[in-house]
Chain A
Amino acid sequence: MFKPLAMKQVVIQLLADDLPRASLTLAELGVFSPSNREEFNEYFPDIPGEHYREIYHQACSRLQKIESHIPLGPVTTISPTRVISEQELSSTNQWLGEIWERCSSYEEHFRRLTDEEHMLNQLEQALDNFASLNIDLSLLQGERLFLDLHVGMLPSANVPKLREAIALADYLLFSYLENSNNTHVIIIGIKGARVKELRSVMDTAGFHALEIPPELHDKPERIRSDLQRRRETVARERTEHQQSMQACADEVRAQLEQARNQLILAEPYVAMGDAARNLGQLSIISGWIPERELQRVESALYKALSGPFQITADTPPRSRHREVPTCLPVNWLTSAFSSLVKQYGVPRYGEINPTLIFALSFIAMFGMMFGDVGHGAVIILAAWLGRKKLKSFTPFAICAGLSASLFGLLYGSLFGYEHLFHAVWIPPLSDPLYMLSMALFWGIGFMVIISLLYIHNRLVSGEISHALFDTNGVVSITLYLSVLAGTYQLYQSGSFGWLPAALSILTLLTLLAFKLIETQAPPGERMLVATIETFETLTGYISNTLSFLRVAAFSLNHVALAIAVFTLADMMDGTGHWLMVVGGNLFILILEGAIVTIQALRLEYYEGFSRFFSGDGTEFKPLKLSLQGVK
């Protein structure tokens, strides 16, 4: 519970034919993390399944693209599991290719319809523009004997260049309308041998011909109605295609879900990567397994594999702990706390698992700062009602609510009312100094525990000198406690005391000596840096301890806010009074609740985690049956 699970580095030797089945079995168990061991690369030079992997990735990509058009239902449990052969995967991939081709043609068609709509808009604008021109537009239509004439549009950026280019072929370009990065132009020249040359350069410039309506200056209404009709055709075509696509989706959805299941089953073999290696018919799989799962893995492989296999498990030496993935044991209660710990970082293998310490201290601090039976009950109720949205964070919120309710009992507070029942311990505002001193004691206790955890972590990783002399080490904590003891004696009897004084000086000098040895710099700079760092160690402890005063400050703040709400409520009568009480309590719950949560997290992360664990461990990510992580 207080440490990551003990891990074993395993090598499974098996027949090459059994490799896919073994991968699937390991993924079903969800306790094996593949990892290549370089020392085997020479003896097992081949990485199997390269073609299988390529097909898988292509199929996954196709499925992903199809899913953006045809949403699939959630993944349900796949049972029974089976090995997906390369042939089966290949035909699934081919089928997905065909489906994607259909989807892609719909996508392309929709794009063309959008272009068509855009073109119709342009035509409508052209119609307005032509209508205001005082020329016989029939001159612009049809084939001419001596004249080559084109009316159309092209990207505005290409107009000057095209004008100059076609001038070389004795053509002229006139622009008559510009809108949304497109320019409407008329290109005119003498018909002859250079027509083909012109066509080619116009294509390169992105020229689109516009139709000149034959009846334009006679019956513009008719043209408008024609444009409207075409617009309706485009809309109808879009609707038809959407319906057709929907029909296609309904037709293939079930098969797509089956294909997705196949890919899920194929993924473990793909995810093995270079952790699986071959030499002829002999294969190996290397990776990490929690020690306690070893037996289960062995018996599952024994049941699943037809051929012989051998599993060897090594305990990683301390020198290789950096390579070992960290597996934090998680249950439904600690899952949310574990997620919050991982927000800071993953502890290295062998270091203390801070989840339980985090959970207990967070819940305690939240309750201390937000103690109210009613508010706690509301948090519990809200967490229970929103459990589907909160998912694994439900126990976290319920625990916070329980803690708030418990401290509410201790403080004698219910929705801010402090006279409804007697406090089991003390109403915070009755003795603020006492509350502050309690918070100080809590902070000292927290700092001592955190330093002990640091010492443990350094001892585990074999860094004995750091465990003894570094900031947060034995010497530092002795310095911290001796200064505290001396200060307390000074407060009680007026003298610091010889023992605390001697201890403080001795530890301070030891700390300074260690910093001097550790610092890599010229003598003057070394002295300066070591002195500053030693001083910073002491001030750091003091300032971090004082940070915990906020625990008391927020408990006082909670009561003070309630008083403010009641003062305002008392200024109103009847419904106004109760609306103010309810609204004020909601305000306290939401705003102060959020602030208190952030403050508690801050204390955990900055005064706690930053002192004792580096957070640079590698998380244990076992093979699982899901389409995630291996894309």
Chain B
Amino acid sequence: MTSTSGQTYLKTRAAVMSGQLMDEQDFTAILATPLQQLEKQFGLSGISDRGLSPANLNRSIERGLINQLMNELTILLRPLNGPARETLIHWSRKFELYNLKALIRGKLNNLPYDLIRESLHILPSLISLPHEELLRTENVPELLRRLENTPYEAIARQARQVYEEKNESFSLDATIDLRYYTGLLKHAQGCDPADRSPLLKLIGSLIDRQNLPWLLRYRLNYQLSPTETYYLMIPSGRHIHTDLLKQLVNMQQLTGILEALPAPLDSQLSGAASIMEVELAMTEALNEQTRHCLHFCPSAVARTLAYMMLREMDLQRVFAILQGQVLALDETVIRQAADLDREDANV
């Protein structure tokens, strides 16, 4: 993406759309808003009038919100071409990978067709797999054979090797995620020099946000060896580089790992006592960096990706609130799920 007009258009588009991003006050306000009004606000009108069960209603709401996100991505993709476009499309593939994981897990556990289908997101054809064909497969090897005829061939081949050697979903999931983030980095590295550096910074922050909680879980919860943990880590984080990762995977205590982190992560994570707290603090840090990128980054592509990442985070929290309302949960629980309590505590 080199044309000045394209950059200007995209920056303007991202700036206009960033008006939709929400702050903590907005979230507190929607917490007090009735469900039907919220549905209207998020383009889901009439969804609760269909007489769906709470579980189905939640799934429909989630699908609706992802659909909205995909529609916004489609608008932002229009002026883009080449590696920049591919980078953004690859970012959105995460939703299809959720579907793929659900399909694999469903097949591994012999779940019925309807149950697996209900858990799949409806996605634009740009990134969508032939779900019906994959759903009608009888087992994981057949599913992977079919997948080898799609753009996800590389993932399918690697997944097959892992499946044949290990035959469990954890390694499959980890391999799929690893492939996804490696692919995202590869696409960003192919962008114009002006876009490459800010994109790699942004994706690096995203990778740090993924890597650290994974590292803690693999080492402390799943008791994986340092070698295997390191292999499952994504290279090229923003603050957690390869050498540091090698050092961290050899540690066995949460406090030790957190103390070994460089600035600004050490201060951001000081006081975190559990993996969940680390994850929340990392999400907050990512949120800050992404907002900074959205407003000040010279690259329109990086701004666009930043907007999409922030919008996704917002819609996730909106979904937590809507889900809580559908299930008629206690407000305290909803606030916790939507990450509102921590804000109050900070205030």
Interface residues of A (CB under 8 A from B): 54, 57-58, 61-62, 65, 97, 100-101, 104, 107-108, 111, 155, 157, 161-162, 164-166, 168-169, 194, 197-198, 200-201, 203-206
User: Does the CB pair B145–A161 fall under 8 Å?
Assistant: no
Residues of B within 8 A of A57 (CB): 113, 136
> Among B136, B142, B231, B242, which residue has the most Cβ atoms of chain A within 10 A?
B231
Say which residue of A62, A100, A165, A203 sits within 8 Å of B165 (CB atoms).
A203
Q: Point out the residue from A111, A194, A204 that lies within 8 Å of B171, measured CB to CB.
A: A204
- If A58-B136, A165-B230 touch, whether A204 touches B225 (CB-CB below 8 Å) is no
Chain A contacts for B15, CB-based, 8 A: none
On chain B, the residues within 8 Å of A61 by CB distance are 136
Contacting pair A168 B142 (CB below 8 A): no
Contact B136–A161 (Cβ < 8 Å): no
Kindly list chain B residues whose C-beta atoms are within 8 Å of the C-beta of A164: 230, 242, 246
The contact of A201 among B113, B136, B227, by CB within 8 Å, is: B227
Residues B138 and A204 in contact, CB atoms below 8 Å apart: no
Give the CA-CA distance A101 to B136 in the complex, in Å: 13
Closest to B158 in A: A206
Residue in B145, B157, B161, B232 whose CB lies within 8 Å of A107: B145
Q: How near does chain B come to A76, taking the closest CB pair, in angstroms?
A: 27
A-B pairs with the 8 shortest C-beta distances? Answer: A203-B165, A165-B231, A61-B136, A206-B161, A197-B225, A169-B227, A165-B230, A201-B228
Q: Which residues in A have their C-beta under 8 angstroms from that of B330? A: none
How many B residues have CB within 8 A of the partner chain? 29
A-B contact sample (10 more), CB < 8 A, given A58-B113, A108-B141: A104-B138, A165-B227, A165-B230, A169-B225, A169-B226, A169-B227, A197-B227, A201-B228, A203-B166, A206-B162
Number of A-B contacts (CB under 8 A): 73
A168 in contact with B246 (CB, 8 Å): yes
User: Most chain-B CB neighbours within 10 Å: which of A57, A111, A168, A197?
Assistant: A168
Q: Known contacts being A104-B142, A165-B228, A206-B158, is A157 close to B246, with CB within 8 Å? A: no
In-complex Cβ contact of A97 among B138, B225, B242 (8 A): B138
B175 and A204 within 8 A (CB): yes
Which B residues lie within 8 Å of A203 (CB)?
161-162, 165-166
B-side contacts of A166, CB under 8 Å: 227
Residue contact B138 to A100, C-beta cutoff 8 Å: yes
A97 to B137, CA, bound (A): 11
> Closest Cβ of chain A: how far from B171's Cβ, in Å?
6
Q: With CB as the reference atom, state the residue of chain A lying closest to B234.
A: A161
Q: Of A104, A155, A161, A201, which contacts B235 at CB under 8 A?
A: A161
CB distance from B16 to the nearest CB of A (A): 25
- On whether the beta carbons of A198 and B165 are closer than 8 Å, the reply is no
B74 at the interface (CB under 8 A from A): no
If A58-B113, A97-B138, A203-B165 touch, does A108 touch B145 (CB 8 Å cutoff)? yes
- Using Cβ atoms and an 8 Å threshold, which residues of chain B touch A101? 138
Min CB–CB distance A588 → chain B (angstroms): 45
Cα(A65)–Cα(B134), bound, Å:
12
The answer to whether A201 and B165 have CB atoms under 8 Å apart is no
6 example contacts (A-B, Cβ-Cβ < 8 A) are as follows A107-B145, A108-B145, A161-B235, A165-B230, A204-B228, A204-B232
The distance in angstroms between the C-alpha atoms of A512 and B225, with both chains bound, is: 83
Tell me whether B114 and A54 are in contact (CB under 8 A): yes
At the interface, yes or no: B71 with Cβ under 8 Å from chain A? no
Q: Which of A58, A157, A169, A204 contacts B182 (CB 8 A)?
A: A157
Q: List the B side residues contacting A169 at CB < 8 Å.
A: 225-227
Interface residues of B (CB under 8 A from A): 113-114, 136, 138, 141-142, 145, 157-158, 161-162, 165-166, 171, 174-175, 182, 225-228, 230-232, 235, 242, 246, 249-250
A171 nearest in chain B by CB position: B227
Query: Are B182 and A168 within 8 A (Cβ)?
Result: no
| Residue from B113, B165, B231 in contact with A161 in the complex, judged by beta carbons closer than 8 Å | B231
| A-side contacts of B162, CB under 8 Å | 203-204, 206
Residue of B with least CB distance to A162: B231
Contact residues in A for B242 (Cβ distance below 8 Å)? 164
Given A168-B246, A197-B225, A111 contacting B231 (CB threshold 8 A): no
- Bound together, the chains give a CA A514 to CA B76 distance in angstroms of 41
Q: Could you say which residues of chain A place their CB within 8 Å of the CB of B171?
A: 204
Give every chain A residue within 8 A of B225 (Cβ-Cβ): 169, 194, 197, 200-201
A166 to B226, CA, bound (A): 9
Residue of A nearest to B139 (CB): A104
Q: Are B231 and A205 in contact (CB under 8 A)?
A: yes
> Which of the residues B227, B246, B250 comes within 8 Å of A194, measured between beta carbons?
B227
> Quick check: B141 and A168 within 8 Å, CB to CB?
no
- In the assembled complex, which residues on chain B have CB atoms less than 8 Å from the CB atom of A168? 226-227, 230, 246, 249-250
Separation of A419 and B313 alpha carbons in the complex (Å): 83
For the complex, give the distance between the alpha carbons of A104 and B140 in Å.
12
CB distance from B95 to the nearest CB of A (A): 23
Q: Which residues of B contact A194 (CB under 8 A)?
A: 225, 227
Residues of B within 8 A of A97 (CB): 138
Between A61, A62, A203, A204, the greatest number of chain B beta carbons within 10 A of the residue's beta carbon is seen for A204
Residues on A with C-beta less than 8 A from B142 are 104, 107-108
Set of chain A residues within 8 Å of B174, measured between Cβ atoms: 204
Closest to A157 in B: B182
Question: In the complex the two chains form, what is the Cα distance from A168 to B225 in whole Å?
Answer: 10
Knowing A101-B138, A104-B138, A111-B145 are in contact, say whether A204-B166 is a contact too (CB < 8 A): yes
Report the minimum CB–CB distance from A99 to chain B (whole Å): 12
Chain A residues near B165: list those with CB within 8 A.
Answer: 203-204
- Expressed in whole angstroms, the minimum distance between the Cβ of B222 and any Cβ of chain A is 12
| Nearest CB of B to A110, in Å | 10
- Chain B residue at smallest Cβ distance from A198: B227
Also in contact, A197 and B136, with CB within 8 A (given A108-B141, A203-B162, A204-B175): no
Bound: A155/B226 CA distance, A = 22
Chain A residue, CB-CB nearest to B164 = A203
Collect the chain B residues with CB atoms within 8 Å of residue A62's CB: 136
| Complex: chain A residue closest to B246, CB-CB | A168
CB proximity of A608 to chain B, nearest CB, Å: 35
Q: Nearest CB to that of A160 among chain B residues?
A: B235
Q: How far is the CA of A165 from the CA of B234 in the complex (A)?
A: 12
Chain B residue numbers with a CB within 8 Å of A111 are 145
| Interchain CB contact under 8 A, A155 and B230 | no
Which residues of A have CB within 8 Å of B250? 168
How far is the CB of A251 from the nearest CB of chain B, in Å? 21
| B113 CB contacts on chain A under 8 angstroms | 54, 57-58
| Residue numbers in B under 8 Å from A65 (CB-CB) | 136
Which residues of A have CB within 8 Å of B249? 168
Q: List, in ascending order, chain B residues with CB within 8 A of A104's CB.
A: 138, 142
Tell me the complex Cα distance, A84–B227, Å: 59
Cα distance, A58 to B136, chains bound together (Å): 7
Q: How far is the CA of A100 from the CA of B136 in the complex (A)?
A: 12
A91 to B297, CA, bound (A): 63
Once the chains are docked, how many angstroms separate the CA of A107 from the CA of B148?
13
Which residue of chain B lies nearest to A167 when distances are taken between CB atoms in the complex? B246
A200 CB to nearest chain B CB (Å): 6
Hey, which chain A residues are within 8 Å of B145, CB to CB?
107-108, 111
User: How long is the Cα–Cα vector from A100 to B137 in the complex, in angstroms?
Assistant: 10
**B228: chain A residues within 8 A (beta carbon):** 165, 197, 200-201, 204
Give the most central of B161, B227, B228: most A CB within 10 Å: B227
CA distance A108 to B163 in the complex (A): 14
Q: Give the CA-CA distance A169 to B229 in the complex, in Å.
A: 12
A104 to B145, CA, bound (A): 10
Complex Cα distance, B136 from A204, in Å, reads: 27
By a CB distance below 8 angstroms, the chain A residues around B161 are 203, 206
Chain B residues lying within 8 Å of A165, measured Cβ to Cβ, are 227-228, 230-231
> CA of A104 to CA of B137 in the docked complex: distance in angstroms?
10
Give Cα A166–Cα B246 distance, bound, in whole angstroms: 11
Q: CA separation between A54 and B157, bound complex, in Å?
A: 31
By beta carbon, the residue of chain B nearest A166 is B227
Q: Are A155 and B227 in contact (CB under 8 A)?
A: no
Minimum CB distance partner of A165 in chain B: B231
**In the complex, what residues of B have CB within 8 A of residue A161's CB?**
231, 235
Bound complex: CA of A107 vs CA of B232, how far in Å?
A: 32
